[in-house]
Chains A and B, each alone.
Chain A
Amino acid sequence: MLYRTAGQFKTSYRADQALFPVRQDAFLLGVILVLAWVVFPLVATEFAFQTLLIPVLIYSLAALGLNILTGYAGQLSLGTAAFMGVGAYACYKLITLMPWMNPIIAILLSGVFSAGVGVAFGIPSLRIKGFYLAIATLAAQFFLVWLFEKWSWLYNDNASGAIQVPNLEMFGVYIAGPQASSTIQYYVVLFIVCLLTWMCINLTRGTLGRTWKATRDMDIAAELIGINLMKSKLTAFAISSYIVGVSGALFVFMWRGAAEPNLFDIPLSFRILFIAIIGGLGSIMGNYLGAILIVGLPVVLNLLPNALGIPIDSATVEHLNIMIVGSLIIFFLIVEPHGLAQLWRLIREKLILWPFPH
């Protein structure tokens, strides 16, 4: 009914391959963008910024990076958090070594460092596959976190061993550090997330994306039809790590404000993997849906007992949260193994055909 596609004729291949073959999709995206750019910042409270809006965006960016690698190029990685850490520490070093640098440029540059590290740890993927590769990426996870702790140059020989975000100014407003306002930070994050998402959508539609998908579906067959596997896998590692690194820099500079090495430990890697899988591997929109679920759910669960007037102490709520998230993961995997994005695809299909079943 709402998704009536009748009358939208395609008269060229170009039109058929367009980003939004159905006009309603473009309209829906427009509504979402207006909400994100105009409505949310006007109505959101400080609490909503800090617990929902900013983290959802940052986590979905990290999941997007992982999804490029796992969902599109088919290389399972469990070291996402460590690459986020590389981005965060690189950004910290850039800012403290070159304080005159524009913070947004620094954040975007810091991804380059994690891309480099990502390629280095991606080299084994040329020989190792499947779960063996997943465990190999754990080597990156444990080694890098150890390095963040032991290499004191990285945190400027702080006594605490943690990195603190200084006050950063751009065009006369603070955009990071204790004095920055949440609204400004939200806009910075939103700008970078939109930019990288736009880049990813077009990358995955183009030659590179098709190369990745061929590698994912069957790498030997891909090699036989002339795809250079080394190039395909390493570009996937590089671009994925770049995005993950930028999200790590945002994670620390725009949200947490400080970071210790163990922040980038393995639970963070898993949370991002959950987002990518529950959202849907091989889908860009899925990352956002997954992030909304995984970030939003604990917030709702924390508020629920108070709203219902049930007295439970906060530690128990915390643990119940973990349990519920665990069961929900299993539940979603059973109900829709291809993720929320697939669910939306089915709904959309039904809406287009409605009221007819076929």
Chain B
Amino acid sequence: MLKDIFINPFVDMVEAPDFLLQVLWEGLVSGVLYALIALGFVLIFRSSRIFNFAQGIMVVFAALTLVGLHSFGVPAWISVLLTLGVMFVLAVGIERVVLRPLVGQPDIILFMATIGITLFLIGGGEIIFGGENKQMITEELGIPTGDTVLEPWGGLLILQHLDITVVVVACALVAALLAFLNYTQMGRAIRALGDDHQAALSVGISLQTVWVLVWFIAGIIALVTGIAWGARAGVSFALEVIAYKALPVLMLGGLESIAGAIIGGLMIGLMEKLFEIYWGQPLLGGNTETWFAFVLALIVLLFRPQGLFGERIIERV
């Protein structure tokens, strides 16, 4: 038994390095997507202290809108633009109808409100677009679908072009976002609001504008994630599950840290894949990916209650 846990998995890894690389690659791709969703959470949390549970359903909703618009005969790229428009309207709507009346309420109330938004979008999405699994319009968007086969150490390593594109686009998006946050006026306003609400308000930063902006950015991230994940698994409400995966990423990285979201996402993507393949499937009957990330994050939190990169918690009476 102990040998199965502590020795055999590592022997397997060394004996088949190409397979290990394949596992790591797939872990990396999902890790990038987790990081992306977690980034949406972090932006909203930093600027408004709202724990946005609706991020997951926004991914589904964006993907559904895109596919739905295309099925009505709108050309692919125009539907992308239109979807962005829809996400913007959604951001404005959420800010006006939900957030503005709830300013200053306890955290849990705002959290519940985002669950209300989630239900609203689930119902609305089902009525407008239908609940069945749909094909993502991968080819129409010009996303390559082939694969490259490498042969390291005489083994076999298959890299889907789709996955490579996802990683590249995600990295570009993160870079653009960081540049936006660091070098533009609006980006700085977002960060200022995250650092100190009242100080930011007193120098004339508009809370409403920033909130609409972060929700819109979260919408853009949702669309990219939706396209990437939809191309791999089809577009359906099951996609919402990946949003739950962003939660342990947040715990691990810390709720306020952008770097934490990225590093935490990659770590969780890699480690849950490794655990599933080398420990989960042979020893525990598989499908451990549903809980491994949470348990890992829980263990880390026991030692660092604010996550790896979160702000130090200082409490006063």
Q: Do A and B bind each other?
A: yes
Binding site for B on A (CB under 8 A): 70, 76, 124, 127-132, 134-136, 138-139, 142-143, 145-146, 149-150, 218, 220-221, 224, 266, 270, 273-274, 277, 281, 316, 319-330, 333-334, 337
**Contacts A135-B251, A142-B291, A330-B97; is A76 near B116 (CB within 8 Å)?**
no
**Beta-carbon contact of A139 and B295 below 8 Å:** yes
**Beta-carbon contact of B117 and A138 below 8 Å:** no
Q: Measured between alpha carbons, how far is A273 from B114 in the docked complex, in Å? A: 13
Which of A129, A130, A135 is packed against the most chain B CB atoms within 10 Å?
Answer: A135
**Beta-carbon contact of A127 and B294 below 8 Å:** no
Chain B interface residue count, CB cutoff 8 Å, equals 50
Chain A residues, CB < 8 A from B294: 135-136, 138-139, 142-143
Interface segment, B80-88, B187-195, B260-268, B298-306?
A: B298-306
**Beta-carbon contact of B119 and A322 below 8 Å:** yes
From A124, A138, A320, contact of B301 by CB (8 A) = A124
Q: Measured between alpha carbons, how far is A273 from B290 in the docked complex, in Å? A: 22
**Beta-carbon contact of B287 and A325 below 8 Å:** no
Those of B258-317 within 8 Å (CB) of chain A? 284-285, 287-288, 290-291, 294-295, 297-298, 301-302, 305-307, 313, 315-317
**Beta-carbon contact of B112 and A131 below 8 Å:** no
Our count of residue pairs bridging A and B at CB distance below 8 angstroms stands at 137
**Beta-carbon contact of B305 and A322 below 8 Å:** no
- Chain B, residues 78-112, CB within 8 Å of chain A (1/0): the string is 00000000000000000001100110011111011
Q: Decide yes or no whether B127 CB sits under 8 A from chain A.
A: yes
Q: Decide yes or no whether B180 CB sits under 8 A from chain A.
A: no
Binding site for A on B (CB under 8 A): 51, 97-98, 101-102, 105-109, 111-113, 115-124, 126-127, 244, 247-248, 250-251, 255, 284-285, 287-288, 290-291, 294-295, 297-298, 301-302, 305-307, 313, 315-317
Q: Measured between alpha carbons, how far is A218 from B317 in the docked complex, in Å? A: 8
From B123, B287, B305, contact of A321 by CB (8 A) = B123
**Beta-carbon contact of B288 and A274 below 8 Å:** no
**Contacts A139-B298, A327-B120; is A322 near B291 (CB within 8 Å)?**
no
From A124, A129, A143, A224, contact of B291 by CB (8 A) = A143
Q: Measured between alpha carbons, how far is A273 from B119 in the docked complex, in Å? A: 14
**Beta-carbon contact of B107 and A130 below 8 Å:** yes
Chain A residues, CB < 8 A from B123: 319-326
Q: Measured between alpha carbons, how far is A149 from B287 in the docked complex, in Å? A: 10
**Beta-carbon contact of A131 and B290 below 8 Å:** no
**Contacts A139-B295, A319-B126, A333-B109; is A128 near B248 (CB within 8 Å)?**
no
**Beta-carbon contact of B127 and A330 below 8 Å:** no
From A70, A136, A319, A333, contact of B298 by CB (8 A) = A136
**Beta-carbon contact of A326 and B247 below 8 Å:** no
**Beta-carbon contact of B250 and A135 below 8 Å:** yes
Q: Is the interface of B mostly helix, strand, loop or mixed?
A: helix
Chain B residues, CB < 8 A from A319: 122-124, 126-127
From B51, B113, B284, B315, contact of A330 by CB (8 A) = B113
Chain A residues, CB < 8 A from B108: 70, 76, 277, 281
Chain A residues, CB < 8 A from B297: 135-136, 139
**Beta-carbon contact of B119 and A124 below 8 Å:** no
Chain B residues, CB < 8 A from A277: 108-109, 112
Q: Measured between alpha carbons, how far is A142 from B293 in the docked complex, in Å? A: 10
Chain A residues, CB < 8 A from B287: 146, 149-150
Q: Measured between alpha carbons, how far is A220 from B108 in the docked complex, in Å? A: 20
Chain B residues, CB < 8 A from A136: 251, 294, 297-298, 301
Q: Which residue of B has the minimal Cβ distance to A331?
A: B116
Chain A residues, CB < 8 A from B106: 337
**Contacts A220-B315, A220-B317; is A322 near B244 (CB within 8 Å)?**
no
Per CB-CB distance, the 6 closest pairs between chain A and chain B, nearest first, are: A326-B119, A323-B123, A322-B123, A326-B120, A139-B294, A329-B116
Q: Which residue of B has the minimal Cβ distance to A143?
A: B291
Instruction: Give 29 pairs: A residue, B residue, CB < 8 Å, sorted on A.
Output: A124-B298, A127-B305, A128-B305, A130-B107, A131-B107, A136-B294, A139-B294, A139-B298, A143-B291, A143-B295, A150-B284, A150-B287, A220-B317, A273-B112, A319-B126, A322-B126, A323-B124, A323-B127, A325-B119, A326-B122, A326-B123, A327-B116, A327-B120, A328-B116, A329-B116, A330-B117, A333-B109, A337-B102, A337-B105
